[in-house]
Amino acid sequence: MSLPTTVPEALWAQRSHQEDGTKNIIYLTITAPDCSPDSVELELEPTKVHFKGSSKVKTFAVDLELYAEIDVENSKKHFSARGVDLVLRKKEFKSEFWPRLLKESKKAHYLRTDFDKWVDEEDQEENADIPELPGSGAQFGGGDGSGGFGGIDFSKLGGMGGMEGMDMSALEGLSGLGSGGAPEMGGFPGDAEENDDDDMPELEDSAPEKFEDAETFVPATEAKTSSGIEEISEDKK
């Protein structure tokens, strides 16, 4: 039985430069989780990106016709359990951005901007940091000797299991737990101001004014008891 085929989500961002090829690039992430390594097809041409891969439940496939040419030999790739990350080297050196990723101007429903990597064209100098692929990626020139699948992180293709892969830094915020398991609240900004509210004024005597004279105040129960005693006494007489 053949698996259903779907177009994977693709995220992209870019940088441009007149001289430095490492800053004249396209970031492209194709999201295709849990694809088996032997099912993955990735082909780059000067104006085309082809990807195909299958998981246990579906096949992902997409062909991207690029707006302009790329330098295939100096482009990089990195495979992981979530898909493939690409850094495509633009062939033409220029400071202006590509107006779009694809040759066709029609909007593609599967293509989105990667805002984690995106900077505006006029802000490139201020945001000069260039995100790197994990392990610096593998070049398409074949220098890694991996038969085209260099950079696959096979350790990420299995289950996480136990505590492996856990970000232990996330537990640092629990260092202030008390013996009961609840976080201690001391040391946070504004504690001094909030603690001022704890100094509540002592409550004054709230006895009703009409009962201020204790001698004239006779509780209702005592009044009934006294009345009953007087009536019994008169019967005896």
The tally of domains found in the chain comes to: 1
Within a domain: 178: no
Within a domain: 28: yes
Within a domain: 128: no
CA atoms within 13 A on the CB side of 5: 6
Which residues span the domain enclosing 25?
A: 5-118
Token output for 156: 């990420």
C-beta separation of 78 from 16 below 8 A: no
Global model pTM greater than 0.85: no
Within a domain: 49: yes
> What was the pLDDT predicted at 2?
86
> What was the pLDDT predicted at 126?
73
CATH number, domain with residue 63: 2.60.40.790
> What was the pLDDT predicted at 125?
77
Q: Cα–Cα distance between 199 and 229 in angstroms, integer? A: 50
Within a domain: 56: yes
Q: Cα–Cα distance between 12 and 49 in angstroms, integer? A: 13
What lies within 8 Å, CB to CB, of 182 at 6+ separation is none
pLDDT digits (tens, 9 = 90+) for 200-235: 555 555 444 444 444 444 454 444 444 444 444 444
Pairing of strands 9-14, 111-113: parallel
pLDDT digits (tens, 9 = 90+) for 8-18: 999 999 999 99
DSSP 205: P
> What was the pLDDT predicted at 77?
95
> What was the pLDDT predicted at 45?
97
Which of these ranges, 3-7, 174-178, 199-203, has the smallest mean pLDDT?
A: 174-178
> What was the pLDDT predicted at 200?
55
Token look-up 């006494």 returns 233
pLDDT digits (tens, 9 = 90+) for 118-139: 999 988 877 666 677 765 556 6
Closest CA to 8 of 56, 64, 76: 64
Angle, alpha carbons 206-210-214 (nearest 5°): 85
C-beta separation of 35 from 54 below 8 A: yes
Of the two residues 107 and 192, the one the predictor is more confident about is 107
